[in-house]
Amino acid sequence: MARLIEPDRPDPELIDVLRGAKRPVALCGAGLSAESGIPTFREAQTGFWSRFDPMTLASPEGFEEAPARVWDWYQWRRSLILRGHPNAGHHALRELQQRRPSTCLITQNVDGLQQRAGSDGVIELHGNLSRTICSRTRRRIDEDWLEQHEDRHPPPSPHHAEGLARPDVVWFGEPLDEGLLGRAIEAAQTSDLMLIIGTSGLVHPAASLPSVARDHGAALVEINPDATALSELSHWRWPQSSAIALPSLIGRL
């Protein structure tokens, strides 16, 4: 049963555990970017998009069936990300990296906000929306080409006659990059503390990383206003926004 942390005050014992951590790892989800104005994956459906299921839009079948709709959905999400900025939670994780260079940041998010907060070496398990690839060859498509063909939804690919431009993200039903997943599993196996930040713990294989960490002796701390599928597994649960909890915890390092 997870130990509940007072919403507005980090547990002194947790601060000691963080201070003593040799290999902290963070598993980040859409909740980390919520305070940056990026709706979480399940909230992402507001207004016009509320009539579509994100699980379908974020899939090869969805793109096959309605490429223009999927392309426009991602263009809409890109516009939210461009208007958004890293929040205090992203900056606190950057600070953790600076104070503990052995920190490993794993994200399910595709918004690139952690990198915009100054972090490098972020493991982007599900890709990054700012990159565009060819739907047939998966080769990168540069911004100049996309601008020249911005009247087409989606633009054609320069790499293949039947190719279309698509976001460089992992859709449901697509495999994750083996190298990235391997690095994330290795980080979970060798960590002594895992911060589980803003994720519902429903999307696999990312959602299995906390149990890998726990099986290898790591202390698990969930930071999320709501309970999730990972709460039972966690040693601590902090029912607080990551934009408040992370600076409060890491600021006391």
The catalytic residues are: 126
Sites for ligand BV8 among residues 46-65 (CB under 6 A): 58
Interacting residues with ligand BV8 between 210 and 249 (CB under 6 A): 223-226, 228, 241-243
Number of neighbours of residue 192 by Cβ within 10 angstroms? 17
Least distance (Å) between residue 154 CB and ligand BV8: 15
Nearest in space to 167 (alpha carbons), one of 73, 82, 83, 52 = 73
Out of 50, 51, 144, 204, the only residue in the binding site for ligand BV8 (CB under 6 A) is: 204
55 alpha-carbon distance from chain centroid? 16
Residue 10 near residue 238, CB atoms below 8 Å = yes
| 121 near ligand BV8, rule: CB under 6 A | no
Contacting residue, 13, 202, 216, 232, with ligand BV8 by CB under 6 A:
202
Minimum distance of ligand BV8 from residue 49's CB (angstroms): 12
Q: What minimum distance in Å lies between the beta carbon of 126 and ligand BV8?
A: 4
Helix axes 12-20, 242-250, angle to 10 degrees: 70
Name the nearest CA neighbour of 209 among 242, 234, 177. 234
How far is the C-alpha of 107 from the C-alpha of 99, rounded, in Å?
Answer: 20
Q: Per-residue string for binding with ligand BV8, 77-116, x by CB under 6 A? A: -------------------------------xxx------
Question: Does 135 participate in binding ligand BV8 (rule CB under 6 A)?
Answer: no
Nearer to ligand BV8, 114 or 241 (CB): 241
Q: Does 7 bind ligand BV8 (CB under 6 A)?
A: no
Q: What is the dihedral of CA 246, 235, 31, 74, to 10 degrees?
A: 130
Q: Which stretch binds ligand BV8 (CB under 6 A): 63-71, 95-103, 194-202, 210-218?
A: 194-202
- Count of residues that interact with ligand BV8, criterion CB under 6 A: 35
Alpha-carbon dihedral 109, 22, 121, 28, rounded to 10 degrees = 0
CA torsion sign, 104 to 243 to 21 to 5? negative
Which tokens sit at 120? 């490098």
Chain residues in the site for ligand BV8 (CB under 6 A):
29-31, 34-35, 40-42, 58, 108-110, 126, 169-175, 198-200, 202-205, 223-226, 228, 241-243
